[in-house]
Amino acid sequence: MFTQQNRKSRQLLASGIKSTYDDELYPTRLNFYREPPPLEISIEEFEQFALDRMQVLQALLTAQMRNLTPEQLDKAVGEAIKKYMPMSPNTKGSSATHRQLMEERRKDHISHFILRLAYSRSQELRSWFLRAECALFRYRFEKEMLKDQLEFLEKQNLSWKKVSDEDKRLLREKLKASSFKAGNIDEETYFEVDFERVAGLVGRRQVYIQAGKAFVRLSDQVVLVLDEFKERLSHALEVTGRALPRMDEDDRLMPVLNNINKQYLGREFTTSAIAGEIQAGDVDSLKVHMPLCMEHLHDELRREKHTRHGGRMQYGLFLKGIGLSLEQALLFWQMAFEKLTPDQFNKQYAYNVRHSYGMEGKRTDYTPYSCKSIIMNNAPGPGDHHGCPFRHFSAPNLRAQLAAHNVDEFDTDDIIHKVQQRHYQIACTRYYEVTRAKMVGISAENVKGGLSDSTAGMIASQEVIEHPNQFFEQSYLLMKSKNGETGDGTSSAAGAGAAGGMDGLIASAPLDATVRGRYTYKKAGASISSNVQHDIDM
Amino acid sequence: MSDMDIDHDPSEAQATVEAGQPENQAEKDELEHLFDMDDDSEFMKEVNNPWMPSSKPSGLSSNADDIAGDIHQQLMLYYRHFFPFKPFFQWLNYDPSAKPSKSFLNREICWTLMDDTFIRFQSYRNIDELKQDMVRLNPAKFDLGAIYNIRPKDRHMVRPAAFIPVSKEMVFDIDMTDYDEIRTCCSGADVCKKCWEFMTVAMKIIDVAMRDDFGFKHILWVYSGRRGIHCWIADERARKLNNEQRKAIVSYMEVIKGGTQQGKKVKLPNVLHPSLARSYETVDHHFRNIAFESQEILTKPENWEKMLSVIPDEDVQAQIRRQWESAPTRAPALKWNELKDIIGEEIAEHPGKRQLLENIPRDIMFQYTYPRLDDKVSININHLLKSPFCIHPKTGRVCVPIQIEHCEDFDPMSPPTVPKLVQELNEYDTTHPSPSEGEAKLQDWQKTSLREHVEYFEKFLKGLSREIREKKRVDGASSKSLDF
């Protein structure tokens, strides 16, 4: 038990609350976490609770990242919740006893507050935690029975103005046109709130707004609830963050807390400290290993002698990730923008290149964009070439691209089909399998079947492509191992261009070390989400 | 001068601005855009310098000869004689009193000097100080940034994370280059009466949405000086929006999406949201003129091929192409009807294609008419935007407000240039003897064609200050009642 000596930290965690838990404390599974948990807990529980909650949050965020269908997502998240932090409903038929119910909710309550402490230290941690907790709250709210939802909301004293029947009649047509889900307007309850509070609905054009007021359906209320939840938690995190220095003297909790928040900030590709082995002149020959998005950016850069901002960021950071040093990057971009004088280049672009290497401004060492970020953020506009080809190309253009990479019609249809189901990363994975199989000279079926042949196994065992640099590194390692196998350093089945490019690279030992080092790092980070992996329909 | 940061790139400031606690990676990335260095066309080709007597500016060359002489001297004249400091201060101050408020004191001003040096995070204690610097630095242009929690000049006195942008007008930036793929009359930096219609449509659609949907009242449209327009929404509620809410408004307005590789850039549901249904009326009103007449979309095969590529069915594309090629000189209106008919027939024959094809004509109309926004400028509260009443460094024109009530009549070639203002001033002074004692002395801008533009700006300010005064009164009353 952590008792007397840790009064200070306990006060942060629990400040003068009554010492029993009962119905009044946890009437439903949902919790706004307004009050700190009232009880003393042991240091073992402290760490275990926190880690269990992390598992759930991590599973949820990972699942959301993957473009899963709602059913797949439900399954993935449901498993994690069941394993690490089950939360039984109030339903009578539930097998959980009352005591169990309260124990579960107590754990939920306590673990939330521990993580709040662990994640309040920096803005980056706070915003990660805020995102994760909002996702979890939303997930649970939507799972809750309507009766419990209403009971929960009633207790929160949220003051939302109901739209009168009269107004509803007047606005009937507009309300109907504002949501394809709208049923019978007369039976639906609408709330009138400032549009600022339902930014998400406004951005998706799923709510009617007039003179700054948004008319929100009861069934969209989760947005409002979430907004409240987010606002309060965000505020609470700031307050906790400010109070945190007082805890620094506590030598029992701080190591635990620091350990927790270091563990899971998502998987990111970072450039290793020894990056800088690739020369500007190598980039063209490395093109064979690039995913379609980067290859396209590269080709357009060569064609236009220029790339707009979005493309420079996406491609530049990718190159940084595969080991292009700042110096070489500056050289690469300056040579690529051949229409500019060195002076123009230095004035307009050099700064941004240095900036993305963390050498200017805030000195943030930017990491390459993940597939998720490329697919979800900053969609390309007119004149842009960045983005994800599977997401942002029209079907005919994507077909043309695939044809140019010798993807046959059967596989193309398969890929397009996946795109239509919005499985962009899976489409990219399929593209990887098909094209890499050709590169090493085995049939894609073998790849899928996972034959004992080590090369085929290598392609097949790879995960869904989640990161352009993962694509590159897998492709690179694959070719390396294949070439190692044949012994002569040249794959007979690989295309002439590919083989030519490989020769020089394989010889470059330092590069290989770089790649392998980072690959291992990524693998380690991936283990946490492995239980979700096989839910993806391949 | 001592506390001034001079850097050969605007993004120096990103250092501090970024420390304004980006919420996530995406937002961080977007901060990269604080300054739009993507004015590509300018770096892709040599732009003539209109300030040199020997050269003409690309496009808009009708009165290039007027813009002669030494640029430094012209800007100097403009800042000394014509720039409307008083109303400008009144705007930035957001307070009817003459005493500088936080809105003015904590506002970032960014100067861009003639040699492309950017000086970010400047702030001033009063309008005279600002004027002094403007005249001394003689900038090519200047931008307005956000209003921060402390004076931007004092930002080094706090840790970076404690320097936070708190408010700014909600802004829109619409640039003609984003229309290049559908524009056939001009390209790049050029602009003419024909393609200006795109800007007219954009103003109409955005203005009414901001007023009717979001309830904003104090909206100022400003000509960017060459090929675009800026919109400043100054309502208190608009100034207080956070990035997320700004983003929501942008994506509420945004319809044209997708890069060069995406043919069809408009994806809208069968039933249009009431706001879009209203916009569609404007689209409908202008589409014919744009596509049939001014942009000649349906007159030339190379233009209509682009339109056909929007149709997500190659069979239908081919049918229409055959029809049009059989009589290429047929009137565009007839061709448009043929397109609609062929699509209609295809749906009748293959009901399975209804969903795919039904709304194609409508979506084409949107793609060829609806506003294209530069979303980065709107979304980030700390993004810079060129101030109204600057001189556009390439064309020499004053960035004047556009009267939204008469936006159809606005001619991008009409705003005055410095030489024109000087000429008008001289003419005025020779025809009007100096005022006698006791008579009000006119400001120099009042003697020129800048007058109508400044007066329109003052009208906008009047509405704003009426509201601010009203709010002060209410606040005062309620705070009094709390006073016991």
pLDDT digits 0-9 by tens, A279-311: 888 888 888 889 999 999 999 999 888 989 899
- In order of A111, A143, A196, B274, the CA distances from A179 in angstroms are 38, 22, 18, 10
Q: What percent of chain B has pLDDT over 70?
A: 83
CA dihedral A244, A246, A250, A252 (to 10 degrees): -10
* H and E: helices and strands count for chain A: 27, 4
Tell me the CATH number for domain B10-254+373-434+442-474: 3.90.920.10
Please give the residue that has the higher pLDDT: either B226 or A228: B226
Find chain B residues with C-beta within 8 A of A361's C-beta: 11-12, 14-15, 18
Find chain A residues with C-beta within 8 A of B29's C-beta: 313, 369, 373, 377-378
The answer to whether A518 and A267 are in contact (CB under 8 A) is no
Task: Give the pLDDT confidence score for residue A372 in this predicted structure.
Answer: 82
Task: Give the pLDDT confidence score for residue B31 in this predicted structure.
Answer: 37
Asked if the Cβ–Cβ distance from A392 to B18 is below 8 Å, we say no
Average pLDDT over residues B273-291: 95
In which band, very low, low, confident or very high, does the pLDDT at B458 lie, cut at 50, 70 and 90? very high
Classify the C-alpha dihedral A153-A158-A160-A165 as positive or negative: positive
Asked if the Cβ–Cβ distance from A177 to B213 is below 8 Å, we say no
User: Where along chain A do its domains lie?
Assistant: 4-155+227-263, 158-223, 280-533
Task: Give the pLDDT confidence score for residue A272 in this predicted structure.
Answer: 42
Residues A499 and A493: their CA atoms lie apart, in Å, by: 9
- Between A28-37, A81-90, A499-508, B60-69, the lowest mean confidence (pLDDT) is in A499-508
Residue type at A196 in one-letter notation? E
Classify the C-alpha dihedral A277-A282-A283-A288 as positive or negative: negative
Closest CA to A479 of A492, A463, A461, A466: A492
Q: With 60 as the cut, is the pLDDT of residue A454 above it? A: no
Taking a contact as any Cβ pair under 8 Å apart, which residues of chain A between 233 and 262 contact chain B? none
The secondary structure of B342-409, three-state, reads HHHHHHHHCHHHHHHHCCHHHHHHHHHHCCCCCHHHHHCCCCCEECCCCECCCCCEECCEECHHHHHH
Tokens of A42: 């042991």
Please give the residue that has the higher pLDDT: either A166 or B390: B390
Nearest-neighbour CA in chain A from B371: distance (Å): 12
Find chain B residues with C-beta within 8 A of A366's C-beta: 28
- Between A34-38, A337-341, A528-532, the lowest mean confidence (pLDDT) is in A528-532
Considering only the beta carbons, identify the residue of B38, B215, B265 that sits closest to A211.
Answer: B215
Q: With 60 as the cut, is the pLDDT of residue A423 above it? A: yes
Considering only the beta carbons, identify the residue of B26, B177, B269 that sits closest to A377.
Answer: B26
Considering only the beta carbons, identify the residue of B22, B259, B275 that sits closest to A380.
Answer: B259
Nearest-neighbour CA in chain A from B434: distance (Å): 48
For A328-371, give the DSSP string: HHHHHHHHHSTTS-HHHHIIIIIHHHHHHTT-STT---PPPPPH
The answer to whether A478 and A455 are in contact (CB under 8 A) is yes
Residues A35 and A28: their CA atoms lie apart, in Å, by: 15
Q: With 90 as the cut, is the pLDDT of residue A65 above it? A: no
Please tell me whether residue A402 adopts helix, strand or coil conformation: helix
Q: How far apart are the first and last CA of chain A?
A: 48
User: Where along chain B do its domains lie?
Assistant: 10-254+373-434+442-474, 274-369
Residues A430 and A471: their CA atoms lie apart, in Å, by: 11
Q: With 70 as the cut, is the pLDDT of residue B248 above it? A: yes
List the B219-223 sheet strands across, edge first: B170-175, B228-233, B219-223, B401-402
In which band, very low, low, confident or very high, does the pLDDT at B347 lie, cut at 50, 70 and 90? very high
Task: Give the pLDDT confidence score for residue A80 in this predicted structure.
Answer: 87
Query: pLDDT, tens digit, for every residue of B142-167?
Result: 999 999 999 999 999 888 878 999 99
Beta pairing class for A208-210 and B170-175: unpaired
Classify the C-alpha dihedral A17-A23-A27-A30 as positive or negative: positive
Asked if the Cβ–Cβ distance from B161 to A313 is below 8 Å, we say no
Please give the residue that has the higher pLDDT: either A276 or B435: B435
For B321-343, give the DSSP string: HHHHHHSTTS-HHHHHHHHHHHH
The answer to whether A455 and A442 are in contact (CB under 8 A) is yes
Average pLDDT over residues B261-288: 92
- In order of B198, B279, B300, B305, B316, the CA distances from B310 in angstroms are 19, 21, 16, 9, 11
B173 is catalytic: yes
- Count of A–B CB contacts within 8 Å? 181
**Which segment, A497-501, A518-522, B369-373, is predicted with the most confidence on average?**
B369-373
Q: With 80 as the cut, is the pLDDT of residue A513 above it? A: no
Please give the residue that has the higher pLDDT: either A122 or B342: B342
Residues A46 and A58: their CA atoms lie apart, in Å, by: 18
Task: Give the pLDDT confidence score for residue A261 in this predicted structure.
Answer: 60
Average pLDDT over residues B29-58: 38
Tokens of A424: 């962009």
Q: What percent of chain B has pLDDT over 90?
A: 64
Average pLDDT over residues A372-377: 84
- Between A232-246, B337-351, B449-463, the lowest mean confidence (pLDDT) is in A232-246
Taking a contact as any Cβ pair under 8 Å apart, which residues of chain A between 115 and 154 contact chain B? 123, 127, 131
Q: With 50 as the cut, is the pLDDT of residue A537 above it? A: no
Q: With 50 as the cut, is the pLDDT of residue A493 above it? A: no
- Axis-axis angle for helices A165-177, B274-287 (nearest 10): 50
Task: Give the pLDDT confidence score for residue A143 in this predicted structure.
Answer: 85
Please give the residue that has the higher pLDDT: either B207 or A72: B207
Q: With 90 as the cut, is the pLDDT of residue B237 above it? A: yes
Among B173, B197, B363, B375, which one carries the catalytic annotation?
A: B173
- Between A434-448, B224-238, B392-406, B453-467, the lowest mean confidence (pLDDT) is in A434-448
Does the annotation flag A371 for ligand binding?
yes
Q: With 80 as the cut, is the pLDDT of residue B46 above it? A: no
ipTM for the complex shown = 0.83
Q: With 90 as the cut, is the pLDDT of residue B119 above it? A: yes
The answer to whether B174 and B372 are in contact (CB under 8 A) is yes
Q: B181: nearest CA in chain A?
A: A382
- Between A120-124, B39-43, B220-224, B260-264, the lowest mean confidence (pLDDT) is in B39-43
Does the annotation flag A134 for ligand binding?
no
Closest CA to B450 of B43, B78, B45: B78
Asked if the Cβ–Cβ distance from A397 to B26 is below 8 Å, we say no
Q: With 60 as the cut, is the pLDDT of residue A1 above it? A: no
Q: A400: nearest CA in chain B?
A: B261
Closest CA to B231 of B193, B268, B204, B192: B204
What residue has token string 């909206």? B219
Task: Give the pLDDT confidence score for residue A483 in this predicted structure.
Answer: 67
Average pLDDT over residues A93-97: 65
In which band, very low, low, confident or very high, does the pLDDT at A91 lie, cut at 50, 70 and 90? low
Tokens of A397: 């253009």
Task: Give the pLDDT confidence score for residue A126 in this predicted structure.
Answer: 86
Provide φ and ψ at B431, rounded to 5°: -85, -20
- For A4-155+227-263, give the CATH class: mainly alpha
The answer to whether B408 and B289 are in contact (CB under 8 A) is no
Closest CA to B376 of B8, B108, B39, B139: B39
Task: Give the pLDDT confidence score for residue A7 in this predicted structure.
Answer: 43
Query: pLDDT, tens digit, for every residue of B210-228?
Result: 999 999 999 999 999 999 9
Average pLDDT over residues B319-324: 95
Find chain A residues with C-beta within 8 A of B21's C-beta: 123
Average pLDDT over residues A76-84: 87
Average per-residue pLDDT in chain B?
Answer: 84
Query: pLDDT, tens digit, for every residue of A245-261?
Result: 776 666 677 777 776 66
Task: Give the pLDDT confidence score for residue A161 in this predicted structure.
Answer: 84
For B95-128, give the DSSP string: SSSSS--HHHHTEEEEEE-TTS-EEEEE--SSHH
In which band, very low, low, confident or very high, does the pLDDT at B472 lie, cut at 50, 70 and 90? confident
- How many other C-beta atoms are found inside a 10 Å radius of the C-beta of residue A359? 12
Residues B154 and B163: their CA atoms lie apart, in Å, by: 9
Best of B214, B267, B268, B379 to disrupt the A interface (most A CBs within 10 Å) is B214
The answer to whether A381 and B259 are in contact (CB under 8 A) is yes
The secondary structure of B290-306, three-state, reads HHHHHCCCCCCHHHHHH
Task: Give the pLDDT confidence score for residue A256 in this predicted structure.
Answer: 72
Asked if the Cβ–Cβ distance from A383 to B177 is below 8 Å, we say yes
Please give the residue that has the higher pLDDT: either A305 or A180: A305
Average per-residue pLDDT in chain A?
Answer: 75
Using a CB–CB cutoff of 8 Å, tell me whether A362 touches chain B.
yes
- How many other C-beta atoms are found inside a 10 Å radius of the C-beta of residue A60? 22
Asked if the Cβ–Cβ distance from A396 to B44 is below 8 Å, we say no
